[in-house]
Each structure stands twice: as C-alpha cells, then as structure tokens.
Amino acid sequence: MEELTQTQLSSTVVWQSEDALSYLYHLDALDFLRSIPSDSVDCIWTDPPYLLSNDGFTCVAGKRVKVNKGEWDRSQGIEADHQFNTDWLSECYRVLKPAGTIWITGTLHVYLSVGMALLQLGYRILNDITWEKPNPPPNLGCRCFTHSTETVLWATKAPKGSKHKYTFHYQEMRQEAGGKQMKSVWKIAPAGRDEKQFGKHPTQKPVALIDRCIRASTNKEDLVVDPFAGSGATGVACLRTGRRFLLNEREPEYVELTRRRINAELKMGENQTPGVWVDEEVASWKSLAKSSHEQVRLLESKRTVDYVAKREVTAN
Ligand SMILES: C[S@@+](CC[C@H](N)C(=O)[O-])C[C@H]1O[C@@H](n2cnc3c(N)ncnc32)[C@H](O)[C@@H]1O
C-alpha cells in the first residue's frame, strides 16, 4: 500500500474514491503505466485500441455507417502497431505482481499482435476466451462470414511450475456454469441502453463480461488496472465486485464519461464509498465546455459534485 502512494500523488488524478483506494487518471497509457510501482498490481483488464478504423463501413441499427471509432483507433502499419502493443504490454508485465494476471480483448485486427507480444515478453497464456455476441451486425460486403465474436486473452506473469500461484475461482465459475466446468465460449449481450445512459462510447464493453473475468481471477479488495478505460466499464465492474481500481483514459470526453458513470454507480450501491472530484480538474472541464451538449454534460457533472458534497455534510 505504501508503494501505491507514489501513484496517488500524481497531479493527473482526476477522480478518487473517498477511501483513497481507487483512482481515475487522464494520461497516455504508457505514461500512466510507468507511474505505477513494479510488482504492485493483482490484475489488469483492458480493451486496447483494435486499430481498425480504416474508413471501411459497417452496419449499425440497419444503417450503413463508417467503421471509424476515432483517431486513436487508426493503424500506423503492422510494425508500428506491434511495437505499440509490445510497449504497453511490457509495462503491464513490470507492474503485475509475480502471480498477477492480465485480460486483453481483441478482434482479428489486434489479437494476433497482442498474443505474439505476450509470448515475446514471457507471459503464460492461460485461455483465449471467445465472447460470442448474440445479435451481430450483418456483414455488408457478403464476401466472408459475419463477425460475431471477440477474443479475450487471459495470461499470467507466473511461469508454469513457479511457486507463485495465480488466482482462479474454479468452483465459483463451475457453479455459475450449472455445476459443469465453465467453457471458454461465453455468450454475453453487448452493453445495453442502461449501460449507455451516461453517454456512449463506440467500443463499450458489457459490464457482465468484465465482471466475470474479475470475479474468476481476483479476490475482494485486489487492485485492478485498466490503462485504456474508455467509458469506465472496468471501474463499474470493480465497484460491483468490491475490487480497488486504477483507470486511465487519454480522450477528455471519455474521462468525463467515466467519471460520471462511476459517480452514478457509487450513488446506486448502498455500501459503496462516494467519489470526490479533484477541484483543479473540474475547473479545466468547465473551460472546455464549448458546445451546449458539453454544457449539459457538465451540468450533470455539477449535480454529481453537489450530491457528493451533500453526502459529506450528512456524514459529518
Ligand atoms: C477500445 S476502447 C476501451 C473501451 C472500454 N473498454 C469501454 O468499455 O468503454 C480504447 C480506449 O483507449 C483510449 N486510448 C487510445 N489510445 C490511448 C493511449 N495511448 N493512452 C490512453 N488511452 C488511449 C481511447 O480513447 C479509447 O477510449
């Protein structure tokens, strides 16, 4: 816990839980990971850019739309993309505890590179979970099968036969699978409207998917890290399962979305610890609000601040 304090002191913390055990950062993923002490993290759950925004088309709600998710999702070429994956996965390896595990989502655009980097860096791959989406969008080109799955690679830093044993709650998973060994194909619906009520993220993952990974591979109060947090789904899963977290996101609008979502989640859970805002950052968000849409969002944020303040007064 003493080591973690170093991270807590970072000026880029934009949100922290009142118990000062969970944080949200606004940094480039590599800078964020570099600020974390070695061998200090129990689990990493992350959904990195798939680097598939190549001006192609897909189908959303029956309409033909550009596949582009944002500049952050553009490929820089095979070599550069693999170097990027190797760099952040190398930092993940350093920060994980000796028996720590990492979960990484991906489609064919990224999991081959991520899998190769995992092997090159000395991780041991434990599973390639297939997340099956029940209602995938149709394939517009009709020149191949419609994509209906994503792969979630699960790996550990502990070599085979090492004294360090990674956590796997086998019995809990077996029970959840109706008394049989849980298979590596998981049919889970994509994030629904309720998970998007605080704003949308183009690649948002369902909390149920993250929740299962976290419950399978960590214990209560373990520390979970997500360097590419997006809409903060990992934070929500951690709050629901009683795990501590360090989230990071580089795009300001998604930092804001995450903060709103986490604060709302804290209000909903009776036994949760409310979050607090870091004042300087709130001021900088206000100056960022140029469009009326952003102003509405900031107003909502302000309500959350008021709520937290009220709770603090009541608690005193
Ligand atoms: C695939 S999305 C994560 C979505 C998230 N799992 C969710 O459920 O909302 C990847 C995120 O990484 C962020 N990102 C991309 N490159 C980054 C970088 N170098 N450092 C930090 N964040 C980055 C993007 O802004 C995007 O929100």
- pLDDT at 285 (0 to 100): 44
- pLDDT at 228 (0 to 100): 98
Ligand 1 atom with minimal separation from the 28 CA: 20
Residue in 4, 169, 165, 3 with CA at minimum distance from that of residue 98: 165
| Cβ proximity of 170 and 126 under 8 Å | no
Q: Pocket around ligand 1: residues whose beta carbon is below 6 Å from it?
A: 28-29, 47, 49, 72, 201, 203-205, 228, 230-231, 233, 249-251, 254
Ligand 1 mean position, distance from CA 47 (Å): 7
Q: Which residues contact 281 (CB under 8 A, 6 or more apart)?
A: 14, 26
Which tokens go with 295? Answer: 């102003």
Return per-residue pLDDT of the chain as tens, 316 residues.
344 444 544 558 999 998 888 999 999 999 999 999 999 999 999 999 998 877 777 777 777 777 778 888 899 899 999 999 999 999 999 999 999 999 999 999 999 999 999 999 999 999 999 999 988 888 888 999 999 999 999 999 999 999 999 999 999 999 999 999 999 999 999 999 999 999 989 899 999 999 999 999 999 999 999 999 999 999 999 999 999 999 999 999 999 999 999 999 988 765 555 555 554 444 444 444 443 334 334 444 444 444 344 434 444 3
Which tokens go with 205? Answer: 């993952």
Place of tokens 């709520």: 307
Domain 2-258 class, CATH top level: alpha beta
Ligand 1 mean position, distance from CA 6 (Å): 24
Single-letter amino acid code for the residue at 193? R
Q: How many Å apart are CA 47 and CA 191, to the nearest integer?
A: 14
C-alpha distances out from residue 48 to 26, 64, 205, 216, Å:
15, 25, 11, 21
Mutating to test ligand 1, I would choose from 228, 238, 249, 251 the residue with most ligand atoms within 8 A of its C-beta, which is 228
Q: Whose CA is nearest to atom 27 of ligand 1?
A: 230
SS3 content of the chain, % helix, strand, coil (to 5): 40, 20, 40
Mutating to test ligand 1, I would choose from 72, 89, 152 the residue with most ligand atoms within 8 A of its C-beta, which is 72
What pTM was computed for the model? 0.84
What is the helix (H) or strand (E) element at residue 60, kind and residue range? strand 57-60
| Cβ proximity of 270 and 238 under 8 Å | no
Q: Which residues contact 7 (CB under 8 A, 6 or more apart)?
A: 23, 35, 36, 37, 246
